[in-house]
Structure 1
């Protein structure tokens, strides 16, 4: 995930199994900084684990050097799935609990607050837990489709 606030860019990796986050702040949001973050993830995540990359639509992830990176690091798999919802929820918590509520008088203070927030979050991490089964979600979708089927959409 890449996220920018003013001139601070946060690259974050969310562990969906345990809720921990690896985060790195940069002044710029370019492919060079994102590649450094990928290297950081590669060093931090145990070698036997796969890493599924879910990137937003930012151009940083579309640079040739970044597109080629997973090919040289086979355990990194570009993917898309409902995991992106979990990443977005974490990002929303960060925005709601820190960014929108805070008064950050400098980029340095904002960066320090984000690092502290991530550190505190990692002290007692909580993975997001789906509260509905696949069957419940599909039934809800079917009810919605039945409701709107004749609505002229």
Structure 2
């Protein structure tokens, strides 16, 4: 969407709600961007109990990878480009994605052991709960 306000976010959530088969759980992974946190979004969640929001940490390596991809897009295709319309801009972005997927993209392989992650989380909770 052209704008990134809470109204557009709610519209996006409603589209997901319509498109996902009834009875299936919906898990939405979000960054900590303020658009995702206002009371309208919390009220939407109450009305749509099959949806759950998961907020990733600000310093998340996954988020860093996404930001790196957008930085590459900006450097290689957008920074010095001249776009006479939104359609021209979208076409340039789509060409970049197609080229990147053909020449550079690699599937992500999860290598972390889930038990190690859960143990680290539990140690963090213990550290937070202990008096200092």
> Given the two structures, how large is their TM-score scaled by the length of structure 1?
0.51
Distance 1:93 1:85 in 2: 12
1:49 corresponds to: 24
2:111 corresponds to: 131
How many correspondences in the alignment?
Answer: 108
The 3-state SS of whatever aligns with 1:128 is coil
Which string of whole-angstrom CA distances, capped at 9 and with x for unpartnered residues, describes residues 14-65 of structure 1? Answer: xxxxxxxxxxx32x22111111111122233333332222322222112221
8 Å Cα contact 2:32/2:55 also seen in 1: no
8 Å Cα contact 2:31/2:55 also seen in 1: no
1:93 corresponds to: 69
2:124 corresponds to: none
The structure showing larger relative contact order (alpha-carbon pairs under 8 Å, at least 6 residues apart) is: 1
Structure 2: runs of 5+ lacking an equivalent: 121-132
Q: Which has the higher strand share?
A: 1
- Aligned-residue CA RMSD (Å): 3.5
The 3-state SS of whatever aligns with 2:7 is helix
Q: Which has the higher helix share?
A: 2
The 3-state SS of whatever aligns with 2:52 is strand
8 Å Cα contact 2:27/2:51 also seen in 1: yes
Deviation, structure 1 residue 115: 4.9
Deviation, structure 1 residue 99: 2.4
> Given the two structures, how large is their TM-score scaled by the length of structure 2?
0.58
The 3-state SS of whatever aligns with 2:55 is coil
Distance 1:81 1:53 in 2: 10
8 Å Cα contact 1:50/1:76 also seen in 2: yes
